Amino acid sequence: MRIVVIGAGGIGGFLGGILTKSGEDVTVIARGNHLQTIREKGLIVESVSLGNFTCNVKATESPSDIGAADFILFCVKSYDTEEALQNISPLIGEDTTVISFQNGIDKEERIAQKVGKEHVLAGAIFIESFIAQPGVIKQTWGPRIAIGELDGTITARAKKIHTVLTNAGLKCDLSNRILEVLWEKFLFICPTAGICSVARATIGEIVEFEETKELYLAALHEVGRVARATGVNLASDIVQRTVAQAEHADKSMKPSMLRDLERGKRLEVDALNGSVCRYGRQLSVPTPMNDFIYALLKVQDLKAARALQES
C-alpha cells in the first residue's frame, strides 16, 4: 500500500516510522530542520510501547513530488489544516482514502469539503508523542487507534487499512460507532489540554489539586452536554471514566498544547476549547469554563502567530 503521511510531527512521525518499519511504502511530508535531518540521518523513533529504531523513510516537502496515494494519514496541527489541504490534490486518486489523526471534532468535515466525503475515513488516536529534536520522535504513552466509516458501516477499505495498521503492531479498533469514539477522545483531550495549559501543570498535578480538579470536571461536563446536544449518545458515566483515566495516567504527562505553549508555538485552542464554545453557542448550551479557557489561551496563540510572521 502506498502511504503518505502529511505532517511528520509527534503523531505523523511515529506512525510513519512504524509503518515504514513494517515494510509499507511510506513517504512523510515534513519541513525545515526536521525534514533535512530525516533525509540525512533517517527517522529515529523512541517508543515506550514498540521499542526504539531508526528507519530510512522517504521524506519531502512537496506533495507534488509523490503522486496519488492509496492511504493518506493527515496529521498536521489543526491550525495548518487549510494550508495542507491547498496542496493535497496531487495525492488524491480515484481510490485514495484519507484519515485524520488530528485533534478536534470537525476535522473530517473540513477535509471532506476539499477532497470529497467519499475519500474520508474517520480516525482517532490516543497517544502522547512529540518531536524531541529534529529527526527524533519520542512516544511515551499509548498508542490506541480507532478507525471507521462515518455512517457506521464496515467496508472493505476500512478492513484493509485496519489490517495494515495491526500488521505494523498497532492496537487498532475497527469501529461501527466512530462518531462516539471521536467525541469520547475529544471529551478527554479538550478539557485536559485546556486546563493543563492554563495552569501550566501536568495531568497529575491537575487531578491531585482539588481546586483545579473541580475546574477540570466543569470543563468535562460542558463538553459532554455539547456532545449530547449534537445527537451523540455518550455513556452516562463518561465524565467519571474520563477522570479515572486522567487519575491513572502517568503523573508527568503533558498534553501537546501545553508543550507548544511552553515552546512559544501556536496552540490548537480553536480546534479544542474554541470548538466547544462555537458548538455551545449554536446549540444554546452554556460553556463558561471553556469560554474562559479559550479567551486566555487564544491570546497566547495570537502572540505566537505574530512572532512567527515576524521571524
Domains of the chain: 2-176 (3.40.50.720), 180-310 (1.10.1040.10)
pLDDT of residue 270: 98
Cα 90 from Cα 79, distance rounded (Å): 21
pLDDT for residue 79 is more than 90? yes
pLDDT in tens, 142-173: 999 999 999 999 999 999 999 999 999 999 99
Of the candidates 33, 37, 44, 35, the residue with the CA atom closest to the CA atom of residue 8: 35
pLDDT for residue 311 is more than 90? no
DSSP β-ladder status, 120-133 and 136-148: antiparallel
Cell of 188: 478527554
**Percentage of residues in the chain having pLDDT higher than 70:** 100
pLDDT of residue 171: 97
Cα 69 from Cα 97, distance rounded (Å): 8
Q: Average pLDDT, whole number, for the chain?
A: 97
Cα 147 from Cα 128, distance rounded (Å): 18
pLDDT in tens, 212-231: 999 999 999 999 999 999 99
pLDDT of residue 7: 98
DSSP code, position 105: S
Omega before residue 255 within 30° of 0, cis: no
pLDDT in tens, 234-287: 999 999 999 999 999 889 999 999 999 999 999 999 999 999 999 999 999 999
